[in-house]
Amino acid sequence: MILSFIAGIFSALLFQNVVTTYTAGVDFVLQQPTKRVKETFIYGAMVSVLALLIFLISYPLNRFLYIPYNITYLMYMSLAVIIIMIHVIGEIVLTKLKKEALKTFFTKALFNSAAIFIVVLSLEQTTFLKAFSLVLGSGLGVVLMLMVLSTIELKLESSNESLVIKGLPMILIILGMIGIVFKGLSGIF
């Protein structure tokens, strides 16, 4: 049981990575390429924690209310309501704590496509343990890939070589190659 949990985390981290497989959530790195790696790590960690929080609220609703009463069409509406509630509560807490710098990170991380995509994928799992390992692994995968993409972007900017392809096209090509490597590794495990 523990072994399948760990395998689920590694599978979501490497082989079913939402960044490399679905290109979800890379907008932060691509829109603001001058961000430092530390800021990217904070952003990725916020995306992961918020995805976990949304999952912990929405999974019990889905399993114990929507599926038994055959009202699964409400799942996506309640997911939107949960995200908005977390946004309002988070904004109030950050205002009280006077953490204005984190407000923009919080809002962008909450409405990040990777966070929402992770939760939607996890709601399709059959057991809580599989869904929880998917959320944890995907969250770690988002942090890992955002850090890698941020580092690559910084290296490409500091490079003096004249490349034919620069900026966003080069990042997407590199992201595609990383995705191919991870898919190739999935055959081994």
What is d(CA 188, CA 15) in angstroms, rounded to the nearest whole number? 11
Using CA atoms of 158, 162, 168, 171 in order, give the dihedral in degrees to the nearest 10.
-70
Determine the pLDDT at residue 31. Answer: 63
Determine the pLDDT at residue 22. Answer: 64
Over residues 21-70, the pLDDT tens digits come to 666 666 665 666 555 778 888 888 888 899 999 999 999 999 999 999 99
Nearest residue to 118 via CA among 67, 83, 73:
83
Which tokens go with 6?
Answer: 């760990």
- Which residue, chain included where needed, has tokens 């992201």? 175
pLDDT-derived band of residue 92, with 50, 70 and 90 as boundaries?
A: very high
* pLDDT above 90 (res 176): no
Q: Taking the CA of residue 163 as centre, how many other CA atoms within 13 Å lie in the half-sphere pointing to its CB? A: 13
Determine the pLDDT at residue 21. Answer: 65
Determine the pLDDT at residue 120. Answer: 85
Taking a C-beta distance cutoff of 8 angstroms, is the pair 37, 160 a contact?
no
Determine the pLDDT at residue 26. Answer: 64
Determine the pLDDT at residue 5. Answer: 84
Over residues 95-143, the pLDDT tens digits come to 999 888 788 778 888 887 778 888 888 888 888 998 999 899 888 888 8
- Which residue, chain included where needed, has tokens 């790590």? 41
Average pLDDT over residues 138-165: 80
* pLDDT above 90 (res 85): yes
What is d(CA 93, CA 188) in angstroms, rounded to the nearest whole number? 46
Taking a C-beta distance cutoff of 8 angstroms, is the pair 16, 138 a contact?
yes
